[in-house]
Structure 1
Amino acid sequence: MRLFSKSILLILAVLLAGTSVYAQEATKRVFSLQEAIAHAIENNVTVKNERLNEAIATAQVKETVAQGLPQINAAGNITHNAIIPITFLPANALNPGAPDGVFMPVPFGVPFQSNVSVSAEQLLFNGSYFIGLRAAKVYKELTLKNTVKAAIDVAEGVALAYYGALVAEERIALLDANVQRLDTLYAETRAMNENGFVELIDVQRIKVNLNNLRTELENVQRSYTLNLSALKYQMGLPNNADIELAEQIRNLEVDEPGLGLDSYQQRIEYQQLNINRDLANLDLRNTRMRYYPTLSLFGNFGYNAGKSKLGDLFQESPDFYLPMGGADVLIEAHTWNPFTAVGVNLNIPVFDGFLKANTIRRQRLITEQVDLQIKNLENAIDMEVQQAQVNLQNSLQSLETQQENMELAQEVYRVTKIKYQQGVGSNLEVVEAENALKTAETNYYQALYNALVSRVSYDKATGNLLK
């Protein structure tokens, strides 16, 4: 028995690709088990949250990629030098006749200055960047596995709640039929008592059984409501949603266990743990890369200006002539004057107080821990598969036995009632046969439920629940 058809796998694929649609209908909706699982995977809050984690991981990959692209920034400022700094110059530099050793205070600067610039930097080599990019992609893969794990858990929860509701629904029908049958017997026995054919205690005995049966029916009805509420919760539906189950427990079949687990990779937990090991190894490689130098290219281009008045910063300065060497030289004055610079930045790690060395030791221990966890998971999977297989075989054997018991109890009740109606059987025999039949029916459907649950556990243990 497999919980998923190809159509449901297509829905899961759409979910993992990032498509989600949720629509709540006011009318009653009928769900088969596969439809209930598909709806749950599409609308369950846990699965939705894991899909959001996928989107977050995708954004993190893009963030990491962006760090290796050119980083371009623009800047600008206007500064008011309220007190212009003083610089001391030799007096004879300004006046050849001044004595040596005399310095004159000269203000250097202007009251208002401004500059605008554009800077760019491009990473040329950084080992940690490339490792980080790989780690981000591996982490994204982990979030995809987490979504599948959430879908598997939700599918299991839906199946258990669905089967529980089906069993309760069938037991309600059986108990209701038993109540009607016993109520008819009670009326017949009471009439026979009134005519003097049976004693009052026979009537009372049936009445006690009838009351107990009605109480049990009410309990099972409440159990059905609880199972239905659990199913709606797993499906991402509000508790007041009106749904109906399309299947009947009597029509379900439980397959024999298959060949078991072909590979540990069939288990999503094993896949998750292997990705965690990859991430641990990438962390270790990233720390080792921090021993290597980093290299980047930078460039800067801009304009600056200086004026005595703020408003002059936004006006073009006039050209003027400056006498030099007995001649007047034309000076082209510009308010804004360009500047540019290019270069490379090289950063070479020398000594960090053994920080990286100790970090590497710690990360190696973490990697060893993950390896031990993987080995332990392999042993746990072997045990789970064996246990699930044994439980399924026991459940199937019990189901076969309980089915035979129920058929025998039905025949015993039929014969006992005929004998009682013909006056060759006692009322006590009918009551006992009725109780035996009710017990046999209850045991059968409980055995069927246990077999279905065991099959779900077996499929999950072998990694085949969503296949």
Structure 2
Amino acid sequence: MKKLSISKKMLLAILILLPSTDFTLSAQDTLKLDLSKALEIALSENPTVKVANKEIEKKKYAQKGAYAPLFPQINFSADYNRTLKKQVMYLDGFGAMGGGSETTTPTEGTETMDISKGIEVGRDNNWSYGFNASMPLVAPTLWKSLTISAIDVELAVEKARSSKIAMVNQVKKSFYGVLLANDSYRVFKSSYDNSMENYQDIKKKFDQGLVAEYDLIRADVSVKNAIPNMLQAENALTLAKWQLKALLGMDLDLAIDCEGKLTEFENELYADYLSTDTSLVNNSDLKQLDIQSNQLKETIKMQKFEYLPTLSLSGMYQWSAMNNNFKFSEYRWNPYSVVGVSLSIPIFSGGGKYHKIKQSQVTLEQLSLQREDAKRNLQLALKQYLDNMNTCIKKFNAAQKGVSQSEKGYQIAQKRYETGSGTLLELNDAELALTQSRLNYNQAIYDYMIAKSDLEKTLGEQK
């Protein structure tokens, strides 16, 4: 029976651990990513984009809060005052003129009171509570601030768009970097495989006494030299994936695999270059400067409105009571209410409003100069990106022909060495040329896609 109970406990523990074991295995599965999926994840999970969206939400709440002063402001207040020294009041006509003195005639059961010394008024405890209300009727400055709040939301939306454009640019460049590292690893792996294949073939010939020991040593050295390049490319691939996962807001330990090769983008080279629109109408930096300029113009109008009169409505309804004790049940609460209109006409403020307007106008001129300078720099950047794309197309054409020729040259060198009419040096040289041409081919496509991504960012495109 004891053995049976132990077996049941072990079975129960296994059943409990099975779901967690299955989850651990599924969590370690490789996540397949293409460019569109990577962009989708980045725009939904990246902290920078989330912060930008929160900024829009915050500005919208601020815009709604700007309407609050237009509504009646109602407050409840309660006051208590303890009289330490009562106020003395003098009544003219009830005493001797010229500072004389007179006492009142006492009645039976009362004390004589000297009126010339004044009469203390008030009681020890003074209570009041009630409601106060106010509402602006004519407030030009307040009305104009609502327009500025709306522009502030527009600016926040444009800044969020700019953050998304920058994020798309970073994710694209990082994704292309992973593809380049992956393609480079394949090139070095292919070079290693060729070196290993040549080494095994030469070793067989050496064992048969057909080649010299020098060829065997050179073949072995070629294999050893190919290993560091392959390991370095593998390490570069790991670092590129870490960078991409950081941009996507993923756990760095999550295994990912970027689908595709750089060669899949070679058909886009000519079409993209020929159909590129270099208009800066959607550039986010210029749009932000334009929005800031409009906001500053509205601010100047609001500052000018400070010269206009304001009219407000106010009202109050309160209850008050005074007593010399704390017997609240005996208190007499007297209501008190008032309604009024307040008109304020600014006449002189020491020149503060005038200088504030002049300061804003100078800021507006600075903003205009900044926009002109930014536009010139952006036009220069566009020319550089287009020139880089044109150069990359030329490099791609040369690299494409180089790959074709180097593959053919390697095959010829391999046949020549097998037939004994060629040397190992020729074969190694052909292998090195093939590796370099393949790397140049991938690098040309990568450089073009990077320049294209930077161009799209400058143009304000989010693809």
TM-score, normalization by structure 1: 0.85
**Aligned twin of 2:269:** 255
Aligned residue pairs total: 423
User: Counterpart in 1 of 2:126?
Assistant: 113
Displacement of 1:382 in angstroms is 2.0
Corresponding residue to 1:130 among 112, 132, 143: 143
Whether contact under 8 Å (1:110, 1:306) holds in the other structure is yes
Aligned residue among 412, 417, 426 for 1:415 = 412
1:69-148 alignment, distance < 5 Å:
69-90=71-92, 92=94, 98=102, 103-148=116-161
Which of residues 245, 248, 255 is equivalent to 1:235?
Answer: 248
Which of 174, 177, 186 does residue 161 from structure 1 map onto? Answer: 174
- Higher helix residue share: 2
**Do the aligned residues in 1 keep the contact of 2:95 with 2:115 (CA within 8 Å)?**
no
**Distance (whole Å) between structure 2 residues aligned to residue 78 and residue 377 of structure 1:** 63
AA in 2 matched with 1:209 = S
Distance 2:115 2:85 in 1: 24
CA shift for structure 1 position 343: 0.7
* Contact 2:148-2:298 within 8 A present in 1 as well: yes
**Alignment of structure 1 residues 38-437 onto 2, 5 Å:** 38-90=40-92, 92=94, 98=102, 103-253=116-266, 254-256=268-270, 257-261=273-277, 263-311=279-327, 313-315=328-330, 335-437=332-434
> 2:4 maps to what in 1?
none
Which 10-residue stretch deviates more, 105-114 or 186-195?
A: 186-195
**What SS does the aligned partner of 2:372 have?**
helix
Q: Which runs of 4+ in 1 moved over 6 A?
A: 99-102
Shift of 1:105: 2.2
* Map of 2:448 onto structure 1: 451
Indicate conservation of the 8 Å contact 1:89/1:104, yes or no.
no
Counterpart CA distance in 1 for 2:91 and 2:192 is: 116
The more displaced of 401-410 and 182-191 is 182-191
Question: Cα offset for 1:281?
Answer: 1.1
Q: What does the per-residue CA deviation read over 1:113-166, in whole Å, with 9 as the maximum and x for residues that have no partner?
A: 211110100011222212211111101111111111111111111111111111
Superposed CA offset, 1:303-362 (max 9, x none)? 111122212x3346xxxxxxxxxxxxxxxxxx1111111111222222221111111111
* 1:71–1:122 contact (8 Å) kept in structure 2: yes
1:91–1:98 CA contact under 8 A, matched in 2 = no
Match of 2:23 in 1: none
Instruction: Tell me: CA distance 1:223–1:130, structure 2 relative to 1, closer, same or farther (3 Å).
Output: same
Q: Following TM superposition, by how much is the alpha carbon of 1:369 offset from its aligned partner in structure 2, in angstroms?
A: 1.0
Amino acid at match of 2:72: P
Contact 2:103 2:116 (8 Å CA) reproduced: no
Instruction: Tell me: CA distance 1:209–1:93, structure 2 relative to 1, closer, same or farther (3 Å).
Output: farther
Tell me the secondary structure at the aligned position of residue 255 of structure 1. Answer: helix
Structure 2 residue runs without a partner (length 5+): 1-25, 105-113
Deviations 1:168-222 (A, max 9, x none): 1122122212212211211221232333322222222222222221101111111
* SS of equivalent to 1:417: helix
Q: Is the 8 A contact 2:75 2:132 kept in 1?
A: yes
Residue aligning to 2:22: none
1:103 & 1:261 partners in 2: Cα distance? Answer: 98
Residue 266 of structure 1 aligns to a residue whose secondary structure is coil
Moved more, 249-258 or 65-74: 249-258
Distance 2:277 2:67 in 1: 39
**In the TM superposition, what is the alpha-carbon distance from 1:26 to its structure 2 partner?**
6.1
Greater shift in the superposed pair: 148-157 or 186-195: 186-195
Q: Distance in 1 between matches of 2:95 and 2:53?
A: 75
Equivalent in the alignment of 1:13: none
Unpaired runs of 5+ residues, structure 1, are: 1-23, 317-334
Cα deviations across residues 362-382 of structure 1 (Å, max 9, x unaligned)? 111110111112222222222
User: Whole-Å Cα distance in 2 between the matches of residues 25 and 344 of structure 1?
Assistant: 70
Deviates more, 1:270-279 or 1:455-464: 455-464
- Note the C-alpha offset of 1:25: 6.6
Q: Distance in 1 between matches of 2:274 and 2:157?
A: 28
Shift in Å at residue 388 of structure 1? 1.4
Change (3 A) 1:314 1:79: farther
Relative to structure 1, the CA distance from residue 47 to residue 408 in structure 2 (aligned partners, 3 Å threshold; closer, same or farther) is same
* Alpha carbons 1:91, 1:103 under 8 Å: kept: no
The answer to whether the 8 Å contact 1:413/1:430 transfers is: yes
Please say if residues 396 and 444 of structure 2, whose CA atoms lie closer than 8 Å, have aligned partners that are also in contact: yes
Q: How far apart are 1:262 and its partner, in Å?
A: 6.0
Task: Name 2:14's counterpart in structure 1.
Answer: none
- CA RMSD between the two structures: 2.3
Are the equivalent residues in 2 in contact too, given 1:260–1:385 (CA < 8 A)?
A: no
Note if contact 1:91-1:99 (Cα within 8 Å) is conserved in structure 2: no
1:16 aligned partner: none
Instruction: Give me the TM-score of the superposition, normalised by structure 2.
Output: 0.86
User: Structure 1's 240 and 51: CA in aligned 2 closer, same or farther, altered over 3 A?
Assistant: same
Q: Are the equivalent residues in 2 in contact too, given 1:261–1:463 (CA < 8 A)?
A: no
